[in-house]
Amino acid sequence: MTRLTSEENIIKISHVTQRFPGVVALDDVSLAIHRGETHAIVGENGAGKSTLMKILAGIQQGYEGELRISGRLARFASTRDAEAAGVSIIHQELNLVQELSIAANIFLGREIRSRLGWLDERTMCSKTVELLRALGSELDPETPVGRLRVGDQQLVEIAKALLLQNQILIMDEPTSALTNAEADRLFGVIEQLKRHGVTIIYISHKMDEVFRLADRITVLRDGRLIKTVLPQQTDVTSVTHLMVGREIKAVDFQETRQAGDEVLRVENLRLRSASGARRWQLEDINFTLRAGEVLGIAGLLGAGRTELMEVLFGLATEEVQGSVFLRGRKVYFRHPQQALAAGLALVTEDRKRLGLFENLSVQSNITLSSLSETVTAGMLSRTAERTAAEESIAQLGIRTSSPAAAITELSGGNQQKCIIARWLRTRPDVLLLDDPTRGIDVGAKAEIYRLADELCRSGMGILVTSSELPELLTLCDRILVLSEGRLTGEFSRDEASEERLMEAATQRN
């Protein structure tokens, strides 16, 4: 067998510096990527990973330094230029047109036309089905992307990048919204691509993935390249250490938490399906949540975790049956505003659609839902807003040049931290966390776990979903399992294990 990983450099990055007002996102970075290797880039939120990838993919211009692809000097003015030079990217922030269908998104700008110039929808649809199948997805190519869950959108984004069959593929946190099973399928696809000699640059906060996939790992910190290491010569702890440059305290909740009174009770909850074979997306859901308790909800993608959170928060789009009680009072929310007023808050997995106000500053994004805090005598106090924001920024370690910076300037993980900060400021009775640490680095994750624990001890009830089982096992006092819209298991902290949760999650109704 020939070894495809030769030492030939397909990409050569020399002395690249990228400045933004108030930040040096990349500071004199030099790195060579070998042809055919899978090269992982790791680092904390805001380390500069996406910025470097955006330069390679033609999205970010105006950098200092030099970039060579296969020996040739490259200065891409657009993604199109980069694609022509053989570079494709799977974006961290999903870049799909919500109104268009899956197939239309995948073929956007590279539509297949018949000889007479008509769009060849049939071929594009069947090609889409083929690409999605390879990723284990049975989605209908004609579904508008706006109706898809983030995980499915992520699969579409991946399929889109695979279509081009380019020799260099950049994956910026491709699995952040995928469950284990889907991620496994993606790894299968990556193996195939590797066998075909494709060079892959892989960014992830999940160290197990990095160690499983990477031939080499490069660590960035504060925009600087710290070191490139071989996975077989190092381990997770050492790499994490290089990333953060300090020790991370292991999250270890010593004393068990004391659950108090019931804060939330759900009885015979059902949510109708919009279409499809199943009549109900959620059926016969019964559970209680007590003050001071963290209750987890495990389940595969499509099991109904997000739907459950949305129903509770007044975001259901289909008919809901059954009852929800908040502190013993029966409630029915038609709108998130009502849920919020009653003492609920939701941190969503889909920050683009439901969480982020892209035209506002970091500080407004943080204080938006707790305006009472920052209003004095009916006037919005900028000083109070700023003080409140500064407090959250320090508490969660949000990396921003200033509280007044535009939210869109922040790295993906730091945007997520702002949303978490916003809901924490509303001091809710019940906090709903839907995959809250998607795209968040190890240090900040530990910080969020610690915060959740603290909030719980102060009497809040927390309902949390995650696509990462270890996260649930760390955080939760109790874990419920959803499979195909029904509860298929309940485990106490002591009973729960990854195996048992997986078994219940894959149980067919």
Ligand X SMILES: Nc1ncnc2c1ncn2[C@@H]1O[C@H](COP(=O)(O)OP(=O)(O)OP(=O)(O)O)[C@@H](O)[C@H]1O
Binding site for ligand X (CB under 6 A): 20, 23, 25, 43, 45-51, 92, 399, 409-414, 441
The span from the CA of 365 to the CA of 421, in Å, is 9
Residue 230: CB minimum distance to Mg ion, A: 24
The span from the CA of 475 to the CA of 472, in Å, is 5
Residue 174 touches which of Mg ion, ligand X, none (Cβ within 5-8 Å per kind): none
Q: Does 392 bind Mg ion (CB under 5 A)?
A: no
* Segment lying near Mg ion (by CB under 5 A), choices 132-140, 146-154, 403-411, 419-427: 403-411
Residue 410: CB minimum distance to Mg ion, A: 10
DSSP state for residue 268 in the 8-state scheme: E
For Mg ion, which is the closer residue by CB, 435 or 484? 435
Residue 158: CB minimum distance to Mg ion, A: 16
Give the Cβ contact number of residue 214 at 10 Å.
22
For ligand X, which is the closer residue by CB, 67 or 315? 67
* Helix locations, 170-299, DSSP H: 180-195, 207-213, 236-244
Give the Cβ contact number of residue 238 at 10 Å.
13
Residue 229: CB minimum distance to Mg ion, A: 20
First to last CA, the chain: 46
Residue 63: CB minimum distance to ligand X, A: 12
- HSE of 223, CA atoms in CB hemisphere, 13 A: 16
List CB contacts of 147: < 8 A, sequence separation 6 or more. Answer: none
Q: Does 43 bind Mg ion (CB under 5 A)?
A: no
Residue 301: CB minimum distance to ligand X, A: 21
The span from the CA of 11 to the CA of 83, in Å, is 14
Q: Token pair 């992830």 is at which residue?
A: 204
Residue 356 touches which of Mg ion, ligand X, none (Cβ within 5-8 Å per kind): none
> How many residues of this chain bind Mg ion (CB under 5 A)?
4
Instruction: Give the one residue of 9, 18, 50, 137 binding Mg ion; rule: CB under 5 A.
Output: 50
The span from the CA of 369 to the CA of 366, in Å, is 8
Q: Does 60 bind Mg ion (CB under 5 A)?
A: no
Near Mg ion in 280-339, by CB under 5 A: none
* Segment lying near Mg ion (by CB under 5 A), choices 49-57, 108-116, 141-149, 229-237: 49-57
Encoded tokens for 183: 């991620």
Residue 30: CB minimum distance to Mg ion, A: 20
For Mg ion, which is the closer residue by CB, 92 or 361? 92
Q: Does 46 bind Mg ion (CB under 5 A)?
A: no
List CB contacts of 1: < 8 A, sequence separation 6 or more. Answer: none
* Helix locations, 92-179, DSSP H: 102-106, 121-134, 150-163
Residue 462: CB minimum distance to ligand X, A: 23
The span from the CA of 507 to the CA of 509, in Å, is 6
Q: Does 48 bind Mg ion (CB under 5 A)?
A: no
For Mg ion, which is the closer residue by CB, 414 or 474? 414
For Mg ion, which is the closer residue by CB, 54 or 194? 54
Instruction: Give the one residue of 18, 92, 306, 392 binding Mg ion; rule: CB under 5 A.
Output: 92
Residue 23 touches which of Mg ion, ligand X, none (Cβ within 5-8 Å per kind): ligand X
- Range list of β-strands (E), 77-142: 87-90
The span from the CA of 339 to the CA of 307, in Å, is 15
The span from the CA of 35 to the CA of 4, in Å, is 8
Residue 149: CB minimum distance to Mg ion, A: 21
Q: Does 412 bind Mg ion (CB under 5 A)?
A: yes
Q: Which residues of 41-54 are buried (b: 16+ CB within 10 A; e: fewer)?
A: bbbbbbbbbbbbbb
- Contact residues toward Mg ion (CB under 5 A) are 50, 92, 411-412
